[in-house]
């Protein structure tokens, strides 16, 4: 069966689902998103791209941005980053503060919020946030081969207004000496990167470097980012995602997931309804169907 047939069938099956999960409602811009949308896009090693559903509709990439922030932070700091953030799954919600106190302000991994705030702080360095965000957008646009990728300013504003837990995390990190910038500066950069809007077509193209289909960063770093996506990319549902889908993946509360089939494909999927853990419900199901039908699971 051809990939375009598989994707068309998956989009059809997802359109018929009524159990779509809950759309994120902590900011009005996400609460207002129509839950009945679904899009999927796949970039292959031969340079072709196949998509189905609402694949050209931009959505808030939210925590998927943490993957690209990590790539930039590693480029800037190299392995020194690992003295500030660990590489273990947390087994806790993405915005949890619980482990930070008992673990002396060193977050478990770069994909929980605390770890992403440290990673963003490292990627930011001593530059104004504007400069870092410009670098991030340039990276995404060149990776996706598309200039039309922007920050949704209204989302960034709402994130700032409602981000009390993130402020708590950032101040806690600062108290432990694990933030080089003032908390509001690092968070300004963090909230704006969460507010980047992309379609699954753009996101799948932007993820090609992680699948080894485009050379943007060192191969060793790609391998490590994929390892972290597999073990930590879905927070306290990372084990379940590996079990069901079998690919490194990173989710965001906008309902997007970027999944990587090393050497084979970069896959982006989007459906706004979330599970309890804040991962796209139908996005995960669609990826499970896709890896079952293509045999792309890294576990054989």
Catalytic positions? 63, 66, 190, 235, 253
Single residue of 152, 159, 236, 285 touching ligand GLN by CB under 6 A: 159
Distance CA 292, CA 13 (A): 15
Rounded least distance, CB 177 to ligand GLN, Å: 22
Helix axes 183-194, 65-77, angle to 10 degrees: 130
181 binds ligand GLN (CB under 6 A): no
70 interacts with ligand GLN by CB under 6 A: no
Question: Which own/partner contact pairs does 72-78 have at CB distance under 8 Å and 24+ positions apart?
Answer: 72/123, 72/132, 72/135, 72/136, 72/139, 73/110, 73/119, 73/120, 73/122, 73/123, 74/217, 74/221, 74/224, 74/225, 75/217, 75/221, 76/122, 76/123, 76/125, 77/122
Of residues 119 through 158, those in contact with ligand GLN by CB under 6 A are none
Given the complex with ligand GLN, which of 50 and 63 has the nearer CB atom?
63
Q: Which of 109, 120, 160, 166 binds ligand GLN (CB under 6 A)?
A: 166
Q: Can you tell me which of 55, 95, 284, 291 binds ligand GLN, judged by CB under 6 A?
A: 95
- Minimum CB separation of residue 165 from ligand GLN in Å reads 7
Stretch 264-283: interaction string toward ligand GLN, x if CB under 6 A: --------------x-----
Report which residue's Cβ sits closest to ligand GLN.
63
Residue numbers 229-268 binding ligand GLN by CB under 6 A: 252-253
| Least Å from the CB of residue 251 to ligand GLN | 7
Please, which residue, 6 or 253, has the CB nearer to ligand GLN? 253
If one asks whether residue 62 binds ligand GLN (CB under 6 A), the answer comes out as yes
Measure CA of the first residue to CA of the last residue in the chain; give whole Å.
19
Residues contacting 274, CB < 8 A, separation 6+ = 21, 22, 23, 24, 253, 255, 280, 281
From the CB of 194, what's the least distance to ligand GLN, in Å?
4
Footprint of ligand GLN on 1-60 (CB under 6 A):
none
Q: Are strands 256-261 and 265-270 parallel, antiparallel or unpaired?
A: antiparallel
Q: Are 7 and 50 in contact (CB under 8 A)?
A: yes
Query: If we measure between CA atoms, which residue out of 56, 229, 73 comes closest to residue 144?
Result: 56
Q: Which is nearer to ligand GLN, 214 or 279 (CB)?
A: 279
d(CA 248, CA 157) in angstroms, rounded, equals 31
Give the span between the Cα atoms of 123 and 90, in whole angstroms: 22
* Distance of closest approach, residue 191 Cβ to ligand GLN, in angstroms: 7
Closer CB to ligand GLN, residue 63 or residue 231? 63
List of residues 6+ apart from 101 with CB closer than 8 A: 172
Is residue 94 involved in binding ligand GLN (CB under 6 A)? yes
User: Within 13 Å and on the Cβ side, how many CA atoms surround 14?
Assistant: 33
> How near is the Cβ of 220 to ligand GLN at its closest, in Å?
27
Q: Which of 51, 63, 99, 238 binds ligand GLN (CB under 6 A)?
A: 63
Q: How far is CA 159 from CA 85, 136, 266, 268, in A?
A: 23, 18, 28, 24
Residues touching ligand GLN, count (CB under 6 A): 11
Contact positions toward ligand GLN, by CB under 6 A? 62-63, 94-95, 113, 159, 166, 194, 252-253, 278
């Amino acid at each position: 069966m051809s990939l375009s047939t598989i994707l068309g069938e998956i989009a059809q099956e997802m359109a018929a689902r009524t159990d779509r999960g809950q759309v994120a409602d902590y900011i009005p811009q996400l609460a207002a998103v129509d839950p009945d949308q679904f899009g999927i896009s796949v970039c292959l090693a031969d340079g072709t791209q196949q998509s189905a559903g609402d694949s050209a509709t931009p959505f808030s990439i939210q925590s998927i941005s943490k993957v690209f922030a990590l790539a930039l932070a590693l480029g800037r700091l190299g392995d020194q980053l690992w003295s500030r953030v660990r590489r273990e799954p947390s087994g806790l919600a993405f915005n949890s503060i619980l482990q930070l106190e008992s673990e002396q302000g060193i977050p478990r991994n770069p994909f929980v919020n605390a770890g992403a705030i440290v990673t963003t702080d490292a990627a930011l360095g001593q530059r104004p946030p504007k400069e870092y965000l410009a670098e991030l957008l340039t990276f995404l646009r060149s990776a996706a081969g598309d200039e039309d990728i922007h920050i949704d300013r209204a989302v960034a504003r709402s994130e700032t207004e409602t981000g009390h837990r993130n402020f708590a995390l950032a101040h806690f990190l600062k108290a432990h000496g694990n933030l080089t910038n003032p908390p509001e500066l690092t968070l300004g950069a963090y909230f704006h990167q969460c507010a980047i809007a992309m379609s699954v077509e753009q996101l799948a193209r932007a993820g090609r470097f992680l699948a080894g289909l485009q050379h943007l960063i060192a191969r060793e770093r790609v391998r490590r980012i994929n390892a972290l996506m597999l073990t930590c990319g879905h927070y306290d549902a990372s084990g379940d995602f590996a079990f069901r889908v079998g690919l490194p993946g990173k989710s965001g509360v906008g309902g997007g997931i970027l999944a990587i089939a090393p050497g084979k494909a970069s896959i982006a999927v989007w459906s706004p309804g979330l599970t309890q853990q804040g991962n796209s419900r139908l996005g995960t199901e669609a990826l499970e169907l896709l890896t079952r039908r293509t045999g792309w699971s890294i576990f054989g």
